[in-house]
Every structure is written in C-alpha cells, then in structure tokens.
Structure 1
C-alpha cells in the first residue's frame, strides 16, 4: 500500500484540528487600528504583535486580543484608556482582566455558546457581576 494514502488524511486532520483551535479574530487581516504603538511598546514583548486585534470597547477601555509571544496556546488581553496602554495579561487557553469592581473582560480559545455574555467578538466578552 502507498504511504500517501495515510499521509493525506492525517495532514487534513491536523490542519482541521489546528484551525478549529484558533480564535476567529485571528482569521481576518490585521489593520492599523489593531496594532497601536501603545500596546506594542507597553506589552514589552508579551504578545505576538502579528496576531494583535482590536476587539471592541469595554466600558471606557479599548480591548486588544492577541496570542502570547512565547506560545500559540497563550491568549493575551491588553487594555488601553485614552490611547495609553494600561495593562496586558496572558494565560494559557483562558484569560480574564478586571476592568472595575463589578466587571472583567475575558477571552477563551473555544467560545461556548448559550451562556449569557456581552460579547465583544467571537472569543472575547465582558462579564458583569
């Protein structure tokens, strides 16, 4: 038997697996709005700037989503207030950043539908107490 018969299905399965674990935000082209200097400079190399995406506003903060610079499974959220970088937090598979006493912004690799969340994008949401 030809080894190509086994390689092609394995290759297709691997590609599908990798793309299914990739947040939808990274599928679109990066724009200038997605890559502000304040986040690039402020995050001090924590984020993979090629994956940096603006996903919306959470209260008064602009929220940016990216992969970690050291690991593609690491997700990062950066907050900007009045064009000034405030913070960047990174965690594996799930990350949450407090924006007030009663709210936080969170991101997860696999969005779980059906939950009551104020979505900013496909994988990023505001959680309120």
Structure 2
C-alpha cells in the first residue's frame, strides 16, 4: 500500500550517520544521495522506500506529534539491534524492545532520531 516514507532532517550528514547503521539492522542500505536527501532500500527493491530529506520548502524540519513509522523486522533480535543502533547513534528511547499488548507476538522497540522523528521496529513472529 505504501510506496515510500520520508522523514525530515535539519542536518543530512548527521541523519545519514544515524540511519546507515540503524536501517542496516532491518536489511536496508543507502542507495541514493544528493545534497538534499538520502534514499534507503532493500537489496531487492527497485526503488528507495525510506527517504531522509531536507524540507523542499527550505523551512526547518519538524516532527509530527502522533506520527510514528513502523518498520518490519524479521526477528526479535533485529528489533533489539535496531534499538541498540539507534541509541548508539544519538537517538532517544521511546520504548525498549519487548512484547506489546496489541497481540501475543507483537515485539517492538520505539526510538526517536536526532531530529525527533519517531520510529519503531516490529517483529510479529513468535520466537
């Protein structure tokens, strides 16, 4: 259903240093970059699915209150690695890895990137 997702940044270099190791834990890698944006995708993607961008209108990037982007993790270990990489890269904790009450196998972690964008990694497989 979704074609791609973007998050804004005020410092593209800092954002790339954060997202490169964080998204690698979920199988995404940097595939494109220019002066205003970085695109990430999986090895089998024909296009970038996750973009980090400076706002097109040249206003400061802000985060949305109530906005969260959930990314699929294949394993609970990947969720743990996502959370650890985010914190090591300057992100902040919004919910440590663990089971959530949404259903018996909903294992997730929540973080904010250095610009305040809220992200989660979720594994819905039993382990």
Name the TM tier (shorter chain).
Answer: under 0.3
How high is the TM-score relative to the length of structure 2? 0.28
How high is the TM-score relative to the length of structure 1? 0.27
Structure with the bigger percentage of strand: 1
Structure with the bigger percentage of helix: 1
Q: Which has the higher contact order (CA 8 A, sep 6+)?
A: 2
